[in-house]
Structure 1
Amino acid sequence: MEDKIKRFKNKIKEKKMLDSMLALLQWDLETQAPKGGYKLISEMIGELSLKSYNLTTSQEFYEILEELKKSINVLDDITRRELELLEEEIEKIKVIPSDEYKMYSELTAKAQGIWEIARENNDFASFAPILEQIFNFNRKFIEYRGEKQDVYSVILNDYEKGMNIEKLDFFFDELKKEIVPLLKEITKNKRDFQEKIKFQVSEVDQKNFSNEILKYIGFNLERGILSESAHPFTLTVNKDDVRLTTRYIKELPFSSVFSTIHEGGHGIYEQNIAEDLKETILSDGASMGVHESQSRFYENVIGRSKEFWYGLLEKSKFKYKELENLSLDEIYKGINEVSPSLIRVEADELTYSLHIMVRYEIEKGILSGEYLVKDLPNIWNKKMYEYLGVIPKSDSEGVLQDVHWSCGLIGYFPSYALGNVYSLQILNAMKKEINIEGVLERGELKKIKTWLEEKIHKYGKLKTPKEIMIEVTGEELNPVYYIDYLKEKYREIYN
């Protein structure tokens, strides 16, 4: 048995090494590689992805798993969970021809460069053909698996175990019923709270403040780094090398503040997964929904609270000098103004999930055949007007604004909305044990980080999202807390 487990661990180490190399290439591609280098990096990603595929689907690996499964009752919890997840992964990819797997990996690596140029040039037509290929590959890969559910429900379940169209339709219908009317009510009583926080800040000062905020909320910069990219993201090589990006807009200094806090939430999760999971495939978030719950919790529940800013301005060593002339109430209302916008990552907390609803309905429509990729700009604009009352003046600020589809992340967007819902359930549970307002006012964010680490972070993928949410909150996904929170918060701000 010891020999079998050792062989298994060696294979896992080899797989993680490949995944780490892929992560480093991806980081380079999205942060500093010149456009002329995209082609070679795409090919390198394709080659390494194929090696990972071949390792995972090899007869040798399969035989090791089968041998261990015979003695599953005597295995420790970590090895047992690894076996379970690997079996699921193998079932998904073994039906995909290896040449198509490699082709798709190269395609998505190449697509990111094409998307970036298309966005710069406001040229959706140049991006549409490769985007159509990405959707077609995703549809085909699911069809290879012979699943009985519709294609999109299978994809949603891959990101969030147990999720499907029916459950998300219910959630978004509740948003339409509760939040869209509230948004229209607020829009009629428009207040210019943001005017107070509109000032220009140099990129250098924004960088300094971003790093100060990361340290303040508990991200360890000795085991992580903050860089820049066109679209903020978090990438983990391992728990001791967690890389975040943000972006700096001179006239919108709070843009970098909140994207930094958001990615910091992801990074804190990754850095605080238990040490005994470090060399396993469990050293990752329980699901994308749970992962997003941490980033959205830090960004919104904490970062947009009045108490957080009181503590930050009292305790931080670096701050924008312009904030010294503002009252706490002016800052709080400024960062929480409801203003339907075109750009998702700049969206206020109330309208954010409506942006996700637009993308969810589009993905569902393309995969069902209801929509064609070439028609996406018009479809996008109509939905933005229907739900948010705004229409993009260009595709760059419309259908081309997100990098996700070019990366092949079809079905990922709903994770943000699920993260919002989870985050408020987590807040409700945390309040029973911690005086959150007092902790934030005193700048004691370590208490919040420790609570999250003990309840969620340390388990990585050892537990399922359902297990974590039931253990932490006492129930499965429940949108009531999120919707009530939004209604209460914004009715108070807008009287």
Structure 2
Amino acid sequence: MKEKEFLAELAEITLLNQTLALLDWDSQTGMPEEAATERGEASGYLSGLAFEKQTGPKLKEALDYFSAHNDELSEVGKTIFTVTKKDYDQLHAIPKELMVERSRLYSEAHTAWVKARQSKNFADFKPALEENIRITKELIPYYKKDEATDYDVLLNLFEPGMTSAVLDEVFSELRDGLVKIRQLIAQKGITPDTSFKNRTMTTAQQKDFVKNLVAQLGFDFNRGRLDDTVHPFATRLAHNDVRITTRWNEQDFTMGIFGVIHEAGHGIYEQNMAGKYNMTPVYDAPSMGIHESQSLFYEIILGSKRSFWQKQYPIFQAAAEGTFDDIDFEAFYRSLKATAASLIRIEADSLTYPLHIIIRYELEKALFNGDLTVAELPKAWNDKYEEYLGIRPDNDLVGVLQDVHWSGGMFGYFPSYALGYMYAAQLLHAMEKELAIDNLLIKGDYAPIKNWLTEHIHQFGRSKTPNELIKAATGETLNPQYLLNYLSELYQNVYQIKA
């Protein structure tokens, strides 16, 4: 067995996964609704082929050989071997039929979710969600090692090494800190004027502004594209094909513009992994929390900075063709960071956003640890929103049906958003020791920021664990205090609270 043969087998698996990613992208951006069943069959068939190769005799032969002859591998080959073996050990015991069924159910569930959103009725999605949970529960025993709970197994798939015990502690600290900031604002804050934010800015105007902006930030449109969808996402089809999506609202420019910045953060990450790992399992993020740290770094950490908008606001005004010419910079900036309880996660402000994640985490944990049924989910969702944010959804569209994740079986993913937010603030703290961030943002010189992230995060792919990456980049493991400090300073400034 030669290293070249090993890499060729991995490349074939990657090609199948690229095809699956293309089918999934199409299903969320342009596929006719009536094609869902046939698409599910196609995705299921290709998933079966990919799974056969990921767990098949040829790959097993390579892994067995290089387990005994590791010295015959190059340094890059050794890294690829380690990650590939970890994936193989996780998957090889799972029956192919189960993986094919999972792929089919996820495809059908996405169509059911879209239909339920149109009817605003959870009942139209409930059977598909129950099936997704059933198939996930059937898979848990194959993934389980020494995790304390079934939900910990799911967490470990998206954030290796993370447990609900750790999250309970971190989220408790985060939640308490956010509540204190919100209380301070309520007691002493001067509320920004947001009356002009619903002025019409056409989709074309928004798109013109934000495409130029994310290109400046570092997203390469020669290797990527932007499309419309129901729920924004980013996906890598290949090393030179990274696709981002968004949705637009002409009476709320923040939805589309910040949505594109968020997805472009994912895209910049995907476009800047080291090419030596291409066509192998290492060419990916080590966890979804690390991936989300990159999208949230651009969208919320940089996108919340006064210095960022000092440069971009005149460009934004020009793109809006006079609509905001009577609004001075200070009023505009403060309006962007106004905080208020909201029902929709992806429209939440920077301060309340983590509370949306904590709600989903607690509901998922209850679903998989046997404390909540699917039938009880809509009421439990609404109760949590009333408890944590003081508002209650009046229909399922703005409640339990708002996120795409459960239709794709992504149980255990939501905590990654909050982890990513905390990682992003911690990365900023470390970056500011080396770079004059505000000076760079005022000048619109974004290359040093992207280069720092590539040097410390992007290039490594899965060659390092999340903990290794964060500790190497920042000098310590996850610390939620950096996010709380960032938000406290930001909102005291925006709400003109004097120390």
Shift of residue 172 of structure 1?
1.1
**Within-5 A mapping of 1:312-461:** 312-314=312-314, 319-321=319-321, 322-461=323-462
Aligned to 1:43, the other structure's residue is in SS state helix
Corresponding residue for residue 171 of structure 1: 170
**Within-5 A mapping of 1:208-247:** 208-247=208-247
Deviates more, 1:190-199 or 1:427-436: 190-199
TM-score (structure 1 length as normaliser): 0.96
Cα contact 1:49–1:102 (8 A) shared by 2: yes
Deviates more, 1:93-102 or 1:334-343: 93-102
Q: Amino acid of the residue matched to residue 25 of structure 2?
A: W
Distance (whole Å) between structure 1 residues aligned to residue 193 and residue 32 of structure 2: 40
Shift of residue 362 of structure 1?
0.4
Distance (whole Å) between structure 2 residues aligned to residue 313 and residue 446 of structure 1: 20
Q: Which runs of 5+ in 2 are unaligned?
A: none
Corresponding residue for residue 92 of structure 1: 90
Distance (whole Å) between structure 2 residues aligned to residue 408 and residue 262 of structure 1: 22
Corresponding residue for residue 158 of structure 1: 157
Report the aligned-residue RMSD. 1.6
Cα contact 1:196–1:330 (8 A) shared by 2: no
Shift of residue 316 of structure 1?
7.3
Cα contact 1:339–1:348 (8 A) shared by 2: yes
Paired residue for 1:148, among 146, 149, 159?
146
Cα contact 1:313–1:319 (8 A) shared by 2: no
- 1:443-466: CA deviations, max 9, x gaps? 001111111111111111122211
Corresponding residue for residue 17 of structure 1: 15
Distance (whole Å) between structure 1 residues aligned to residue 460 and residue 303 of structure 2: 25
- 1:245-279: CA deviations, max 9, x gaps? 01111111111110010001000111111122223
TM-score (structure 2 length as normaliser): 0.96
Corresponding residue for residue 311 of structure 1: 311
Cα contact 2:317–2:324 (8 A) shared by 1: no
Shift of residue 208 of structure 1?
1.5
Shift of residue 315 of structure 1?
6.1
Q: Which runs of 5+ in 1 are unaligned?
A: none
Q: Amino acid of the residue matched to residue 21 of structure 1?
A: T
Paired residue for 1:37, among 23, 35, 38?
35
Aligned to 1:342, the other structure's residue is in SS state coil
Shift of residue 176 of structure 1?
2.6
Distance (whole Å) between structure 1 residues aligned to residue 192 and residue 223 of structure 2: 40
Deviates more, 1:171-180 or 1:50-59: 171-180
Shift of residue 92 of structure 1?
2.1
* 1:146–1:210 Cα change, 3 Å: closer
* 1:267–1:146 Cα change, 3 Å: closer
Corresponding residue for residue 478 of structure 1: 479
Distance (whole Å) between structure 2 residues aligned to residue 464 and residue 126 of structure 1: 40
Shift of residue 207 of structure 1?
1.9
Distance (whole Å) between structure 1 residues aligned to residue 402 and residue 351 of structure 2: 20
Shift of residue 190 of structure 1?
7.1
Shift of residue 200 of structure 1?
0.8
Cα contact 2:143–2:153 (8 A) shared by 1: no
Deviates more, 1:135-144 or 1:400-409: 135-144
- 1:56-95: CA deviations, max 9, x gaps? 1112210111101112244233222222222222222222
* 1:198–1:21 Cα change, 3 Å: same
Distance (whole Å) between structure 2 residues aligned to residue 195 and residue 41 of structure 1: 45
Distance (whole Å) between structure 1 residues aligned to residue 308 and residue 85 of structure 2: 43
Distance (whole Å) between structure 2 residues aligned to residue 184 and residue 139 of structure 1: 40
**Within-5 A mapping of 1:170-209:** 170-187=169-186, 191-209=191-209
Aligned to 1:195, the other structure's residue is in SS state coil
Q: Amino acid of the residue matched to residue 262 of structure 1?
A: H
Aligned to 2:102, the other structure's residue is in SS state helix
Q: Amino acid of the residue matched to residue 43 of structure 1?
A: E
Paired residue for 2:105, among 103, 107, 124?
107
